[in-house]
């Protein structure tokens, strides 16, 4: 009898596990609305979260102002929201803020500040920021030309987001023609990280 009751209880629990709806939180609902292009709903959900310090909500709200989705396109306001999220370590906001400083969108143009924020995002594995740092070092924008560091950042971007593989492969092939084998080996060693160099400091 006791065994039969246990089976019955187990069956009820199993039944409810199938019929109870899985509810997403407000952030997930807001992001889902943003992704499907329902920006008015996204703005209504995300703004209170952003006002209360939610980094991801701040990033998406910044993106709405940057693109002009359901709100006026205002780069100054976009930069303010991106900065709030970036200061909390939100990688995508750091990369976006770097782009804004590089282009002077809503903020004074500054290669140094662009690199500052790109570096923070790149250290968290953002391939776009890594690729941007590679370009800066290759072209000497805001820093002296340094093909070793350019190759390092291109290499990291290549091994990250698949969307960057084609572009960074071309960049790696191009600058490799200008480098010695020793320089390439050094860049590859840097790309493996500080521990590979016996150095616990971050390198730029």
- For residue 85, give both structure tokens: 């999220």
Calculate ∠ Cα 104-105-110, nearest 5°.
Answer: 25
Tens-digit pLDDT profile for residues 151-203: 999 999 999 889 888 889 999 999 999 999 999 999 999 999 753 333 323 33
Higher pLDDT, 96 or 195: 96
CB 190 within 8 A of CB 203: yes
What is the DSSP track for 63-83? Answer: HHHHHTSSS---HHHHHHHHH
- List the domains of the chain with CATH numbers: 1-124 (1.25.40.10), 127-194 (no CATH)
pLDDT (tens digit per residue) in 53-68: 999 999 999 999 999 9
110, two tokens: 């500054």
Q: Which two tokens stand for residue 148?
A: 């070793």
The mean pLDDT of the chain is 85
Q: Are 93 and 127 in contact (CB under 8 A)?
A: no
Euclidean distance between the first and final Cα of the chain, in Å?
Answer: 71
Q: Between vectors from CA 113 to CA 91 and to CA 59, what angle results, nearest 5°? A: 30
DSSP 130-150: HHHHHHHHHHTSSS---HHHH
Token readout for 204 is 């730029």
Whether the CB-CB separation of 150 and 175 falls below 8 Å is answered with yes
Looking at the whole model, is its pTM more than 0.85?
no
Query: Do the Cβ atoms of 30 and 63 come closer than 8 Å?
Result: no
Residues 6+ positions from 204 with CB-CB distance below 8 Å? 115, 119, 149
Is the four-CA dihedral 69, 74, 77, 78 of positive or negative sign? positive
């Amino acid at each position: 009898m006791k065994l039969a009751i246990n089976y019955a209880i187990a069956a009820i629990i199993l039944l409810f596990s199938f019929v109870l709806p899985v509810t997403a939180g407000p952030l997930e609902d807001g992001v889902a609305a943003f992704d499907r292009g329902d920006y008015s709903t996204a703005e209504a959900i995300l703004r209170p979260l952003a006002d209360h310090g939610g980094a991801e909500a701040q990033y998406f709200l910044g993106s709405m102002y940057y693109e002009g989705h359901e709100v006026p396109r205002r780069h100054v306001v976009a930069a303010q929201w991106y900065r709030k999220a970036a200061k909390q370590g939100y990688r995508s906001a750091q990369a976006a803020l770097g782009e804004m400083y590089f282009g002077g969108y809503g903020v004074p143009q500054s290669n140094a500040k662009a690199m500052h924020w790109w570096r923070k995002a790149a250290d968290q594995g953002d391939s776009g920021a890594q690729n941007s740092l590679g370009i800066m070092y290759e072209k000497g924008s805001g820093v002296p030309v340094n093909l070793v560091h350019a190759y390092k950042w291109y290499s990291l971007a290549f091994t990250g987001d698949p969307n960057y593989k084609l572009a960074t492969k071309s960049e790696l092939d191009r600058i490799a023609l200008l480098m010695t084998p020793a320089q390439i080996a050094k860049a590859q060693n840097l790309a493996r990280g500080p521990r590979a160099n016996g150095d616990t400091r971050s390198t730029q």
